[in-house]
Amino acid sequence: MNEMHRHVHDHGDRLRGDRRRLAAALALVAAFMAVEVVAGLLADSLALLADAGHMLGDAASLGLALFAAWIAATPATPQRSFGYRRAEILAALANGAALVAIAIWIFVEAAARFRDPAEPLGGWIVVVGVLGIAVNLAAAAVIAGGRERSLNLQAAFRHVLADLAGSVGVVAAGVVVLTTGWRYADPVAAVAIGLLVVASSWSVLRDSVGVLLEATPRGVDAREVGRAMAGHRGVREVHDLHIWTITSGFPALSAHVLVDPAADCHAVRRELEGMLGHRFSLTHTTLQVEHAGDPAQRVALGEPYRRRGPLGRE
């Protein structure tokens, strides 16, 4: 099995695992969301209703993530050579945006409660909050196994963690209401939930936008890659170097490589591919290798990397 076929097989296995995790988490979140809505209305608690609204957004986001994991497994076609793998990234971006929208709703509702505080039932709040902690811990455990390999699962995991933090805030608000009768504890907890939601959305939005803008993957230093390639035996210069992410766990590289007139282009290419895979975990590479001084050589674009580094510097 060649490298590309092995990658496609591994990617398909990952997507199937992602779908199972997302489906289980969606079932847990949706079931508890209904419980929290009823409890929030009965207890007249903004913290519970805010957390229920957050879980409603999470249920929709998990459903979207599940759909994205399914459609990302659609086979490639001549018109879409990578299939629909970027659907994962679009889902992650939508999830991050949904977190921001939910936070805004929480802040607006909390402002109204500060002006006219209600009298929530502390006992209901504590019981439902503790149940929410258990449900979110279970959902987080289901998703955690695959989140390092998938931005889509990472976004879903952050939703669940935000819900977990929200449930902790709900319990704290219920305890304060029960012990002191301070009605403002409920909207204060809601604001805290909103701030946690905003914080959890940042990295998902940053990473998904980075992928869509085809930025160099996090953890990869493009200059170091360029210098390593230019320093390889027989290589004179590397330019038009591009490193980007096609989808979660699928970085790609392309470059134009000039080698010594006497060098074996095919041998150098194979050696570079091996070095890139072993040293930088870049296994999906496209290298155009030509002899330096070839009259048919195309015009170089971008910053060149030569034997002494980019633009001749170390």
Cα–Cα distance measured from residue 137 to residue 158, given in angstroms and rounded to the nearest whole number: 12
Same domain, 236 and 279: yes
The number of CA neighbours under 13 Å toward the Cβ of 275 is 17
CB 153 within 8 A of CB 204: no
Residues 234 and 142 grouped into a single domain: no
Instruction: Supply the pLDDT for residue 120.
Output: 86
Do 95 and 228 lie in a common domain?
no
Q: Do 194 and 240 reside in the same domain of the chain?
A: no
94 and 227: one domain? no
* pLDDT at residue 281, as a whole number: 92
- Could you tell me where the DSSP H helices lie in the chain? 3-43, 46-71, 87-115, 122-144, 151-180, 185-212, 222-230, 265-280
In a domain, residue 104? The reply is yes
Say what the pLDDT of residue 157 is: 83
Residue 240 covered by a domain: yes
Contacts of 314 (CB under 8 A, 6+ apart): 308
pLDDT value for 92 = 82
Last residue within a domain, chosen from 190, 212, 234: 212
CATH of the domain at 178: 1.20.1510.10
| Same domain flag for 101 and 250 | no
For tokens 């990295």, name the residue. 203
- Domain residue limits at 68: 3-212
In this structure, are 96 and 20 located in the same domain? Answer: yes
Length of the chain: 314
DSSP state of 314: -
pLDDT, tens digit only, all 314 positions of the chain: 444 444 444 555 556 677 788 888 889 989 999 998 999 888 888 888 888 877 887 787 788 778 777 776 778 788 888 888 788 788 888 888 888 888 898 899 899 889 888 788 888 899 999 999 999 999 888 888 666 667 667 777 877 887 888 888 889 999 998 999 898 998 998 888 888 778 878 878 898 999 999 999 988 999 999 999 999 999 999 999 999 998 877 899 999 999 999 999 999 999 999 999 999 999 999 999 999 876 655 555 566 787 664 544 44
Assigned token pair, 107: 């802040």
Residues 302 and 243: their CA atoms lie apart, in Å, by 13
Under DSSP, the state recorded for 312 is T
Do residues 191 and 228 share a domain? Answer: no
In this structure, is residue 217 part of a structural domain? no
Same domain, 174 and 249: no
Residues facing residue 252 across a β-bridge: 244, 284
CATH number at residue 249: 3.30.300.30
The whole-number pLDDT of residue 91 equals 82
Q: How far apart are CA 187 and CA 96, in angstroms?
A: 23
Domain count for the chain, please give it.
Answer: 2
Shared-domain flag, residues 180 and 292? no
Supply the pLDDT for residue 13.
Answer: 55
pLDDT of residue 5: 46
Quote the CA–CA distance of 125 and 122 in Å, as a whole number.
Answer: 5
Residues 207 and 257 in one domain: no
Q: Which of 94, 58, 59 is nearest to 209 (CA)?
A: 94
Out of 191, 212, 233, a domain closes at 212
Strands 250-259 and 235-247: antiparallel
Kindly state whether residue 231 falls inside one of the protein's structural domains: yes
Structural domain contains residue 130: yes
Give domain status of residue 37, yes or no: yes
71 shares its domain with 176: yes
Contact 26, 62 (CB under 8 A): yes
Boundary residue ending a domain (160, 181, 212): 212
